[in-house]
Amino acid sequence: MTELTFADWQARASEIEIEGRAFINGQYTDALSGETRPTYNPATGEKLVDVASCGPEDADLAVKYARDAFESGVWADMAPSERKMVLVRWAELIELYAEELALLETLDVGKPISDTFNIDAPSAARTIRWSGEAIDKVYEQIAPTPAGTMGLITRLPLGVVAAIVPWNFPLSTTAWKIAPSLATGNSVIVKPASNTPLTAIRIAELASEAGLPDGVLQILPGPGGSLGQHLSTHMDIDGLTFTGSTPVGKMLMEYSGQSNLKRTFLELGGKSPNIVFADADLDKAANMAAMAVFFNGGQTCTAGTRLIVQDSVHDEFMAKVIECAKGWAPGNPLDPETVMGPMVDQGQYNTVAEYVEVGLGEGAELAYGGKRVLSDEGGYYHEPTIFTGVNNQMRIAQEEIFGPVMSVIKFSDAQEAVEIANDSIFGLAGAVWSRDINTAIKVAEKVRVGTMGVNNYFGGDITVPFGGFKQSGNGRDKSIHAFDDYTELKTTWIEFE
């Protein structure tokens, strides 16, 4: 727990030295073209630093170093117990530099410092440590074959993996990708989101300091449209892991098919149902319903943006939710008291404002919020916003807004709740609230999502897999199951006399 105050964080922010270069083959380096692109502080609109803008030629170089490192066996053939120790040391360094990493993340993304320090930075360290500590405890298999034969079933690293990540949880999402891919022996190239590259750039140096060999982890900031596409169509990259929007995810699957069929795993968007029955603990459910949407300004793929409430308690429950929403007023993210910061940039702010107009146009009732606030600070702050009277066919119930906008839909019985919940192209997360275990379990089983909470929202930790059904993606981050995405299953059939 840091004791730093708002003034302390502001003082550190004014002094921090920010690295904006790519990290290639163990060194910070400019893009070969010399091009840069600024990254901004969403709380003020001010430029933080010029960041290397890498292109295809930088990618080709990084792929060559990654391939050489892989083929040399310097990492892939290291004993799992030694790879473990490198990852554990790296996690310790991330903990040691947690204040600096939290500050970088807050400046770059606009997330509250209390979140980046208490959630994002520790989560990254925990993920890397967990994958490291797991890798020397997984066993492989021998099949039940006839006498005189032996069928070995082993898992081998893919080789060179590219990770393309979004801006909403840059540090923790990057850790979700690189911890299992590195633990399993791959060489990894990360392309961070253009507007939030800073923490990925910083932790690469810490990885080197922890003993990760050169070329095994490289960070290439640059545009999705050119650099991202070049990586995705590269003939010498074996795996692609992605978190981001569903439209880009669909393109990546095509790129894979057009190039070398690289293993492609996607974590995409959501429109997650949060179902509240009349017999739930309504105070707790209301508190969490607000958090489920307003945490991280709603810029969370698992946000519980469809609040599906049993009609008999709708008005009573919504009065409680609106009370809770008042606690999510946006503020300066460097203030440890702030719970919600600005939207990440002007574009994301505009999207939110447009969807508020769409909701009003569709006839939903604006029950709370709906406006820009704190505009004199220069940041993109939007109030927590609640629409009631929504039906599930409206655009504000079907489309991912990625902002602090809740759409409230009524239901009468469990079957209807499940039908509404499943009437979505997405299937990432959801929750059900009821004191009746029969109702809760029955509904939880029927909702087609990758992660379902029962009497909680955002539950779960590194021990359980995370990912989507339907157009929310394929593959899984976190837990031992993440290792599957970064390894090929190999059979070796042995005959003996």
105 binds Mg ion (CB under 5 A): no
Provide, rounded to whole angstroms, the least separation between the CB of residue 497 and ligand NAP: 51
223 binds ligand NAP (CB under 6 A): yes
Catalytic residue list contains 54: no
Q: How many CA atoms are closer than 13 Å to the CA of 45, on its beta-carbon side?
A: 11
402 binds ligand NAP (CB under 6 A): yes
166 binds ligand NAP (CB under 6 A): yes
168 binds ligand NAP (CB under 6 A): yes
Instruction: Give the helix/strand (H/E) hosting 265.
Output: strand 263-267
Q: Which tokens in the block code for residue 258? A: 């057009």
Q: Which tokens in the block code for residue 56? A: 């295809």
- Look up residue 268 and give its DSSP letter: -
Binding mask 161-200 for Mg ion (x = CB under 5 A): ----------------------------------x-----
d(CA 87, CA 109): 26
244 binds ligand NAP (CB under 6 A): yes
Q: Which residues contact 292 (CB under 8 A, 6 or more apart)?
A: 272, 274, 303, 304, 307, 431, 457, 458
Total site size for ligand NAP, rule CB under 6 A: 30
Q: Which tokens in the block code for residue 314? A: 């709708």
Nearer Cβ to ligand NAP, position 232 or 424? 232
The torsion angles phi and psi of 360, rounded to 5 degrees, stand at -65, -40
Q: Annotated catalytic residue: which of 54, 105, 301, 383?
A: 301
Catalytic residue list contains 267: yes
Provide, rounded to whole angstroms, the least separation between the CB of residue 138 and ligand NAP: 24
Q: Which residues contact 331 (CB under 8 A, 6 or more apart)?
A: 112, 337, 338, 339, 340, 341, 374
Nearer Cβ to ligand NAP, position 111 or 320? 111
Q: Which residues contact 483 (CB under 8 A, 6 or more apart)?
A: 134, 135, 138, 155, 180, 183, 184
d(CA 495, CA 116): 55
Positive or negative torsion for Cα 337, 48, 173, 185: negative
Binding residue for ligand NAP (CB under 6 A) from 76, 163, 189, 268?
Answer: 268
108 binds Mg ion (CB under 5 A): yes
d(CA 474, CA 430): 17
Q: Annotated catalytic residue: which of 54, 105, 267, 400?
A: 267
399 binds ligand NAP (CB under 6 A): no
292 binds ligand NAP (CB under 6 A): no
Binding residue for ligand NAP (CB under 6 A) from 200, 334, 428, 444?
Answer: 428
Angstrom distances, CA of residue 16 to CA of 6, 50, 107, 204, 293: 15, 14, 10, 18, 32
d(CA 211, CA 199): 19
400 binds ligand NAP (CB under 6 A): yes
**Binding partner selected for residue 166 from ligand NAP, Mg ion, none, CB under the kind-specific 5 to 8 Å limit:** ligand NAP
164 binds ligand NAP (CB under 6 A): yes
Nearer Cβ to ligand NAP, position 171 or 313? 171
297 binds ligand NAP (CB under 6 A): no
Q: Which tokens in the block code for residue 363? A: 């006839």
Query: Vertex 11, ends 5 and 14: CA angle to 5°?
Result: 145
Of residues 25-54, those binding Mg ion (CB under 5 A)? 39-40
**Binding partner selected for residue 108 from Mg ion, ligand NAP, none, CB under the kind-specific 5 to 8 Å limit:** Mg ion
Give the footprint of Mg ion on this chain (CB under 5 A): 39-40, 108, 195
Catalytic residues: 267, 301
Give the footprint of ligand NAP on this chain (CB under 6 A): 164-168, 191, 193-194, 223-225, 228-229, 232, 243-245, 248, 251, 267-270, 301, 400, 402, 428, 468, 472-473
